[in-house]
Chains A and B, each alone.
Chain A
Amino acid sequence: MKAYDLAELAVRNLKESVLRNSLTTVGISVGVASLVAMLSLGIGLQQLATRRLVRSGLFDTVVVTSRRDLRNFNRADDSSGGPAPAESPALDEPARQQIEKLPNVVEAYPDLRFITSFTYEDKPHLTMVAGIPPSYKTNDAFEGLQGSFFSADAAPEVVLQKTFAAELLGKTAKPGTDEAPVAQLAAPLLGKEMTMRYAERVSAPAVPETAPSAKVGLHPLTEGNDSQEAATYSIVSHELKVKIVGVTDLDPDSMRGPVRARVLLPLKLIESLHVVQPTALRDTTQAANKAPTYSTVSVRVKDPAKIQLVEDAVKKMGFNTFSMLDATRSLRRFFAVLDLFLGIFGSLALAVASIGIVNTLVMAILERRREIGIMKAIGASDGDVKKLFFAEAGVMGALGGALGVALGWTIGRVINAGTNIYLKRQELAPEQIWFVPWWLVVGAIGFAILVSFISGLYPAARAARLDPVQALRYE
């Protein structure tokens, strides 16, 4: 029989005992719905967890440090080969550019930071300042930023972390109390100016020209050492007026949001200021290079799966690396197991439904015994009869699957809405804890059809084996 004939006859036969077949189909759809609801929640929770982690850069960032920096991460790696710290290359601008050219690397930017004081409305505030690359504008690290991102790559503008904003306004939350919303903190600060003090590193002999941004010229304090030019520099104190353009609720302890910095400046601006870095002293004593070195370089990788490749390549260059690869690996494993269990529990209902299919089809064989006999007498082969029952099982599976996906989607939505009402009562931000990807839709319907076919195996074989002579005698 042709496929469209099979489908037509199957649908027609199902319509003949519409109540029983509808109930069976509803049974399948409940099974599929429970599967879809369980898995969509599992996937939603996984996305919720990974969204946080991805935003923090745990998944796609490799932190590169110099082997010379003995205080740094991965000290255990010292025994794993590679050049000795004293012979290892310096982590400077050429090295950064080299890293950026590695395959699978999106960008590599130096971690420039210093502790300084800001004067806002005549009151000094001490905090850590860090430079952030322009790519932050487009990635999701600044989701929920109040105000705007820097207007230009080297604009004299700052984005404040919200605890610092609260400090400027004298609204620092007491432990245990709720923090003020970012928007409330941002409103009085956006567009205001504050004055930043910083120390410029000037190569010796120190003839500092007054930086255009330095509004208040301080007398440069020169501490040169003429005898060793390479490691000689001056430190000049400056002040710079910066405009507050944004306030973010970025977690200051997260990894991509430069650690513990509460004031963020454009990276290009910091670079142009030549602010003296903690590595400066090391540069002096180790005298590896005339140029200043970076304490760390953050490398953003195209795809979390490529982290190991990039790490290996960077290590080969003689640097130390650090990533949260293992942490993400175990996180993924956890969710894979969670999804598996949710899937198994969800499938239980489908297994029960499949028994319903077997029951319905066996009943149909008893009722349609004579009809099967007639079909065989006028030329239907065993295969035709078998395919017809298979098709009936398949149609029930497909209908039940489609209905079940819709039902599961609705259940997930309701659970999500309920959770968000609860979160709202707890004064927490709403979260998407439920997600139905397209592969789950297709997979669930496919799985329902597969289960139906498997359930149809026995009834179809039984119908095909019917002896036409006996079937025709049956009234």
Chain B
Amino acid sequence: MNARPGPNPQSATAAIRSENVCRHYPMGQSLIRAVDGISIQVSSGEFVALLGTSGSGKSSLLNLIAGLDRPTSGAVIVEGKDLARMSREELAKHRLHTVGMVFQSFNLIPSMTVIENVALPLRFAEVDRSQRDSLARAALDRVGLSLRLDHRPTELSGGEQQRTSLARALINRPKLLLADEPTGNLDSKTGTEIMKLIREFNQSLGMTVVMVTHERALAEQYAQRLIFLADGKLIDEKSNVAAVAESPIPGGRA
């Protein structure tokens, strides 16, 4: 509808901007409106939480931002580029270089060791074999996992698996970190550790973070802004002063 090409002046520092974006699936006779006309904007270096009950469309919106899915209508502009206009090849490049993803179920490849899982995006980026190992070690070091690098994911605890997954998301130095219920499968202590890591990436690396969660408390503790969704629509938006105040570098680094 108002999907104009190119960023408007207001969104000069916008990392993510969705304009009336829709994602509808046909399901039998009916139409599922997973995302139904959402317009949001996330600034560079911001930490935003998408909140809602299950089926509210928060994961679908995250998938659209990640370039895993395409909108039925509307525009999703990430780092100045409209994902709706990208080819499949360009979307793959976007997922490889612009975004890093973390999932509730970790999504590590079970046949690969920790270090191989972390280095996998480097293979897709055609990084030389000689550099891959040191880059993967550095990323794992950042998430506090420097031992058990040759173990398979099934031999690790949930927290260690999510750390591995975070290291993999970091490996190509993306500008965006998209986290889909990152603590959903973890106990509260481990969950806190993971959230602290995510906040550290947001603050020290200046990564823009969009986190999907249904735990309001978690969102309020870490995110600078909360976006509430229900039935595929944006119902509320709230700046979280407490989290901003807690940040050593408010707003992060651009």
Chain A positions within 8 Å of B, measured between CB atoms, are 1-2, 4-5, 9, 12-13, 16, 370-371, 373-384, 467-469, 472
In the A-B complex, the 3 residue pairs with the closest CB atoms: A379-B96, A381-B92, A379-B124
Chain B positions within 8 Å of A, measured between CB atoms, are 63, 66, 68-69, 88-89, 92-93, 95-97, 100-101, 103, 107-109, 111, 120-121, 123-126, 129, 168-169, 172
Complex alpha-carbon distance, A373 and B108, angstroms: 11
Q: Which one of A2, A12, A371 contacts B126 once the chains associate, using CB atoms below 8 Å? A: A2
What B residues does A370 contact at CB under 8 A? 107
11 CB contacts below 8 A, A to B, read A1-B124, A374-B109, A377-B101, A377-B103, A378-B121, A378-B124, A380-B96, A381-B96, A382-B89, A384-B92, A472-B107
What A residues does B89 contact at CB under 8 A? 381-383
What A residues does B172 contact at CB under 8 A? 379
Question: B123, A469: Cβ atoms under 8 Å?
Answer: no
Question: A379, B125: Cβ atoms under 8 Å?
Answer: yes
**Shortest Cβ distance from A312 into chain B, in angstroms?**
61
User: Closest residue to A467 on the B side, CB-wise?
Assistant: B69
Complex alpha-carbon distance, A76 and B129, angstroms: 76
User: Closest residue to A383 on the B side, CB-wise?
Assistant: B89
Central interface residue in B93, B95, B129, B169, by most chain A CB within 10 Å: B95
What B residues does A382 contact at CB under 8 A? 88-89, 92
Question: A381, B111: Cβ atoms under 8 Å?
Answer: no
Taking A12-B111, A383-B89 as contacts, is the C-beta distance between A377 and B124 under 8 angstroms?
no
Question: B68, A380: Cβ atoms under 8 Å?
Answer: no
What A residues does B92 contact at CB under 8 A? 376, 379-382, 384
Central interface residue in B69, B97, B103, B111, by most chain A CB within 10 Å: B111
What A residues does B111 contact at CB under 8 A? 12-13, 16, 371
Q: Which one of B66, B93, B125, B126 contacts A377 once the chains associate, using CB atoms below 8 Å? A: B66
Complex alpha-carbon distance, A471 and B66, angstroms: 15
Taking A381-B89, A382-B92, A469-B63 as contacts, is the C-beta distance between A375 and B68 under 8 angstroms?
no
Taking A4-B129, A469-B68, A469-B69 as contacts, is the C-beta distance between A380 and B107 under 8 angstroms?
no
Question: B68, A381: Cβ atoms under 8 Å?
Answer: no
Complex alpha-carbon distance, A9 and B124, angstroms: 12
What A residues does B108 contact at CB under 8 A? 374
Central interface residue in A2, A5, A371, A378, by most chain B CB within 10 Å: A378
Chain A interface, DSSP helix/strand/loop, else mixed:
helix
**Shortest Cβ distance from B21 into chain A, in angstroms?**
15
User: Closest residue to A471 on the B side, CB-wise?
Assistant: B68
**Shortest Cβ distance from B70 into chain A, in angstroms?**
10
**Shortest Cβ distance from A233 into chain B, in angstroms?**
90
Q: Which one of A4, A378, A472 contacts B120 once the chains associate, using CB atoms below 8 Å? A: A378
Question: A378, B69: Cβ atoms under 8 Å?
Answer: no
Complex alpha-carbon distance, A467 and B67, angstroms: 11
User: Closest residue to A468 on the B side, CB-wise?
Assistant: B68
Complex alpha-carbon distance, A65 and B79, angstroms: 91
Q: Which one of B68, B97, B126, B168 contacts A1 once the chains associate, using CB atoms below 8 Å? A: B126
Complex alpha-carbon distance, A374 and B68, angstroms: 11
**Shortest Cβ distance from A21 into chain B, in angstroms?**
14
Question: A377, B88: Cβ atoms under 8 Å?
Answer: no
What B residues does A379 contact at CB under 8 A? 92-93, 95-97, 121, 124-125, 172
User: Closest residue to A370 on the B side, CB-wise?
Assistant: B107
Q: Which one of A13, A16, A376 contacts B68 once the chains associate, using CB atoms below 8 Å? A: A376
Question: B88, A378: Cβ atoms under 8 Å?
Answer: no
Complex alpha-carbon distance, A16 and B95, angstroms: 27
Central interface residue in B107, B126, B172, by most chain A CB within 10 Å: B107
**Shortest Cβ distance from A368 into chain B, in angstroms?**
9
What A residues does B100 contact at CB under 8 A? 378
Complex alpha-carbon distance, A382 and B168, angstroms: 20
What B residues does A383 contact at CB under 8 A? 89
Q: Which one of A12, A378, A467 contacts B96 once the chains associate, using CB atoms below 8 Å? A: A378
Complex alpha-carbon distance, A469 and B66, angstroms: 11
User: Closest residue to A371 on the B side, CB-wise?
Assistant: B109
Complex alpha-carbon distance, A12 and B110, angstroms: 12
**Shortest Cβ distance from B164 into chain A, in angstroms?**
12
Question: B95, A377: Cβ atoms under 8 Å?
Answer: yes
Question: B63, A378: Cβ atoms under 8 Å?
Answer: no
Complex alpha-carbon distance, A165 and B137, angstroms: 87
What A residues does B109 contact at CB under 8 A? 371, 374-375
**Shortest Cβ distance from B107 into chain A, in angstroms?**
5
Question: A378, B168: Cβ atoms under 8 Å?
Answer: yes
Complex alpha-carbon distance, A119 and B16, angstroms: 114
Complex alpha-carbon distance, A416 and B48, angstroms: 77
User: Closest residue to A374 on the B side, CB-wise?
Assistant: B107
Question: A5, B123: Cβ atoms under 8 Å?
Answer: yes
What A residues does B121 contact at CB under 8 A? 378-379
Complex alpha-carbon distance, A12 and B169, angstroms: 23
**Shortest Cβ distance from A5 into chain B, in angstroms?**
5
Known: A1-B126, A13-B111, A377-B101. 11 other contacts (CB 8 A): A16-B111, A373-B107, A374-B108, A377-B66, A378-B96, A378-B100, A378-B101, A381-B89, A382-B88, A383-B89, A467-B69
**Shortest Cβ distance from A366 into chain B, in angstroms?**
16
**Shortest Cβ distance from A327 into chain B, in angstroms?**
60
User: Closest residue to B92 on the A side, CB-wise?
Assistant: A381
Question: B88, A381: Cβ atoms under 8 Å?
Answer: yes
Question: B95, A376: Cβ atoms under 8 Å?
Answer: yes
What B residues does A380 contact at CB under 8 A? 92, 96, 124
Complex alpha-carbon distance, A375 and B124, angstroms: 9
What A residues does B129 contact at CB under 8 A? 4-5
Complex alpha-carbon distance, A167 and B109, angstroms: 86
What A residues does B69 contact at CB under 8 A? 467-469
Complex alpha-carbon distance, A9 and B121, angstroms: 13
What B residues does A375 contact at CB under 8 A? 109, 120, 124
Complex alpha-carbon distance, A328 and B68, angstroms: 66
Taking A378-B95, A378-B96, A379-B92 as contacts, is the C-beta distance between A472 and B123 under 8 angstroms?
no
Complex alpha-carbon distance, A4 and B126, angstroms: 11
Complex alpha-carbon distance, A13 and B121, angstroms: 17
What B residues does A5 contact at CB under 8 A? 123, 129
Complex alpha-carbon distance, A375 and B108, angstroms: 9
Complex alpha-carbon distance, A275 and B71, angstroms: 104
What A residues does B125 contact at CB under 8 A? 379
Question: B107, A381: Cβ atoms under 8 Å?
Answer: no
Complex alpha-carbon distance, A381 and B88, angstroms: 8
Question: A2, B68: Cβ atoms under 8 Å?
Answer: no
User: Closest residue to A9 on the B side, CB-wise?
Assistant: B123
